[in-house]
Each structure stands twice: as structure tokens, then as C-alpha cells.
Structure 1
């Protein structure tokens, strides 16, 4: 935004607060890092600091994009100070689920605790996928969620901190080699895996503007 908008900033606090709650659910301390943009004002940064202070969370402004390493020192110092202030034994994370739980229970734990969903729905196709995962011996693996980054829900139009929603899982894939299963939600698309030799290394742009190497055997 080119102009300061305090109301928009404050509306976004609900989303930020949910993320802080999610970190707390794992039993770990947090530092609130503000990725500063050139147009951000001091008054807006103070609003963020006050938000963090009210919740017992240290806030650090990171201005690395504009100032390089010097702009990241505040964040580094804040993290180091927090680490130095911990007990001799570092806090151990609390995991959301036991891998021995069913795939449905593991997905539900993530959806309710991290995303704030009321419920989880598996499509008929996803249920068939889960049957296949079980047959292949993958039910005891951790879950990787594939979800839009634009919302805590699976609907990219639901901004802020949506409530009262059901997370829909439409597909479940087993990544046996990687050691996890992937639950795909909403309309999310996944990136294809790259070959050992990326095709881009075979592409050449010649001085006359011709491009070769786009097709195999070319």
C-alpha cells in the first residue's frame, strides 16, 4: 500500500494472532518478525510492536531487503537474546499428533489447531486414496498438507481469520520415498518434480535470436 492504512493493519492482526497461537500450540517461543517495506511508517511499526508486547512476544523489524545484512541485525539480536534467556535444556516441541493415529485424525489435528477449521471432509475420491495408502503400508507416515497460501482455509477468498469452515480434502497421495503422505485441499496444484538434469540446461539462445534445446533430441 502506498498510503498508511491503520484500519487495514489492525484487521490483519486477527490473522497474525492465529499464527502466534499455532506456534504456541507446539510449545515453542516465538519472535514476531516484521518484514519491512520501504513505505511502512514508524506509526505502523509501533502498532505491530504494541500488538506483540500485549501478547508477550518480542517484535523485531527486518529491513534486509533495503539495507542488506545491517537491516537484519535487529532480528538476529532478538532471536539470540531469546535463546540466551532459555533454560539449559531447550524447550521440546509438542507435536500435534502421534504418527500412529489414523490419517484422518492427523489431518483433523492440523486443520483444527493450525488452520482453525471446525471440521474436515474427505471426498469419495480422497477416501479411496486413503484405502490405497493403507494397503501400501503408508498409514503410519506423517502428513504434508497442500493448501492455498492465501487463506487459513482451503478457500483463497476467505481472508483474515476465517471461522466456522470445513476443510475439504479432495486427494491423498503417498510419497513413500520421501516418507509422508500429501493431503490436497481445495483447488491447490502441486509443482512437478524436476529431473536430475533440468531441461533448462539444454536450452540455448543464439545471437540471431534462435532458441534451441526446447525439445528432446534437438
Structure 2
């Protein structure tokens, strides 16, 4: 079983701030996206696909102020007061990433658990798009906590449709994902160095090369 980088997650205090950040930082505006009824969040997307990272995209996500409380902790640590404060003060930033499971999501969760990494349980999720309902399964902890400060990814297993397939070419592409973990063996198929948890994404954009460090 191996993992592939699926998407980068940009947290924002509001979706409008996230969209403005994307245009100012990457030189383009995001497109698509929608509402997550399960988590009371909403998002916008940007295609990052290229030869090194096919079927890859950037997700800008924020708490949906018009949605009722979800009744559980939101994903990506979005309910963390410390993270909320940083997003309000410092603006949007890279808060997490998601890895796609090529195989059985439950089996990968068991393998992580045996190595001491408790990533939660597989949960079915969906959102509506212009082309219909998008479905996936994602590993969620009950407390919504990001493992290793966000350097260890959430795990996802897509249904028949992948969101990157419907996104237009954005002119932005992911060039490198620089990653360190105390347990790099948790990421079969992905290159990670051993050391203190750390993550940085480097993107080629209309504004030049942009580095996005992890906001912990």
C-alpha cells in the first residue's frame, strides 16, 4: 500500500480572506468548491496538478458562518482557539495536507495505529458540485487534532470522481513538498526525511516561485 499527495490545505478566518490571499500570494483566484454539511465548513479550490504531482490541488477552507454547529470537532484543527487566533492575526496559511490512499483506508489506519499514530476512523463525506455529488471517505479524529502539528497528513479515499479532474488549469503547479517527520516510515511511497516535524510546499506561480511553510 502506498500514499500520494492529494491536496494542500490553506486555513482562513473567512473564505473571502482566503480568496484574497490566493490572488495576492499566487497571482490567481480559486474556483469551484462548496459547502461541507458534515463539518459546517466551506471551501474554494485551485488546480496544482503537474508531472510530479498529478491530480493535485489546493483547498482554501474556512468555518461556514451560515451553517449550524456540526456537533463534533471540525477537521484540520479549525476549532482550535490558538489556530483561529493565528489565522485572524497573521492571515491565511498552510495548515495541513491530505494524502490519497491507493488501497484500503482502514488498512492504512490500522498500520498507522500499530506504529503509534492514531488518525481516527474512516468517515463518509460529500458535497454538492455543479456536476453532482462528490463523495469520499476521510480519516477523522474525534478531537480534530492535526498529528505532528499538521506535518502528518489526513488520509482520504476518493470515490469514482476526483475534484482535480474538473478543475481548470490554474497556471500554478506544485514543484516540491519538503517534509520531515520523526517517523518517516508512516508515509510509504512519499519522500520524507527523519527529524523534527516540518513541512513546506513550493509552488510555481504567475508571480514566481512561492514557498508556503506550515502554520502550526
What's the TM-score, normalizing by structure 2?
0.23
Greater share of residues in strand: 2
What's the TM-score, normalizing by structure 1?
0.22
Relative contact order: is structure 1 or structure 2 higher (C-alpha 8 Å, sep ≥ 6)? 2
State which structure, 1 or 2, has the greater radius of gyration over its C-alpha atoms. Answer: 1
Greater share of residues in helix: 1
